[in-house]
Amino acid sequence: MSAGEVSKRRYRAFSCFLKERFRTRVYRVTIDAGFTCPNVDGSVAVGGCVYCDNRSFSPNRRQPRTAVRAQVERGVAILSKRYHAEKFLAYFQAATNTYAPVEKLRRLYEEALDHPQLVGLIVGTRPDCVPEDVLDLLECHTRDRYVCLELGLQSMHDRSLDWMNRGHHLGAFLDAVERCSRRVRDRPRCSASRLTLTWCAIFSNVCRPPW
């Protein structure tokens, strides 16, 4: 993509940020560490979010699960061959990747980061699943690695979140962002948007949605 095309965007792409930071293209290696979610196991709700099927967006969910290290090695080998990639981020993507005791999280994250070409972590999770001890763990890794905590905000409207069976409201997201911001005041922050749910804002402002 040309510089002119990039300048026309109304947002800063995450891929561009990573390329500026690491001086090269950085690729994500998706990892399925076998986590579940609190709105799947009954802690918050049952059935999961209405749109969620981890097999649809996480390739590793469609294969027999292997150890984290094996998933990293396989992902690095495929991306290196296809794109001549040299630097990678371990992307803990499927389910809620902070929903476990902190010592289990430490073991899994460190297993991924043990690969010499891994420059950091991306950890996808829910805003109601980031207690202080988990933030402590992630902050420790920022001393020598890049760490991105991906907090899912599917809608800013509580009625829509109830319809999706998210099991939390906007307040949980705002609380998580505030607690994270106190730890990363000197580091870049960004927001991930689910553009397919923009109808939530339209319905909430124009008419009363059916839910």
Range of the domain at 124: 13-206
Give the Cα separation of 48 and 167 in Å (integer). Answer: 9
Residue 22 falls inside a structural domain: yes
User: For the whole model, what pTM was predicted?
Assistant: 0.84
Domain count, the chain: 1
Which pLDDT belongs to residue 89?
Answer: 98
pLDDT (tens digit per residue) in 141-187: 999 999 999 998 888 889 888 988 999 999 999 999 999 988 876 56
Nearest 5°: phi and psi at 123? -120, 110
Nearest Cα neighbor of 39 from 164, 158, 160 is 164
How far is 93 from 125, CA to CA, in rounded Å? 8
Kindly state whether residue 171 falls inside one of the protein's structural domains.
yes
Question: Which ranges of the chain have pLDDT less than 70?
Answer: 1-7, 54-63, 185-211
Q: Are 119 and 89 in contact (CB under 8 A)?
A: yes
Q: What is the pLDDT of residue 203?
A: 46
Region of residue 95 (left: phi > 0; alpha: psi -120 to 50; beta: else): left
The SS3 assignment for 112 reads helix
Do the domain assignments include residue 65?
Answer: yes
Query: Is 75 within the bounds of a domain?
Result: yes
User: C-alpha angle 103/106/108, rounded to 5°?
Assistant: 110
Q: Report yes or no on 94 lying in a domain.
A: yes
CATH number, domain with residue 191: 3.80.30
Structure tokens at 145: 């690695």
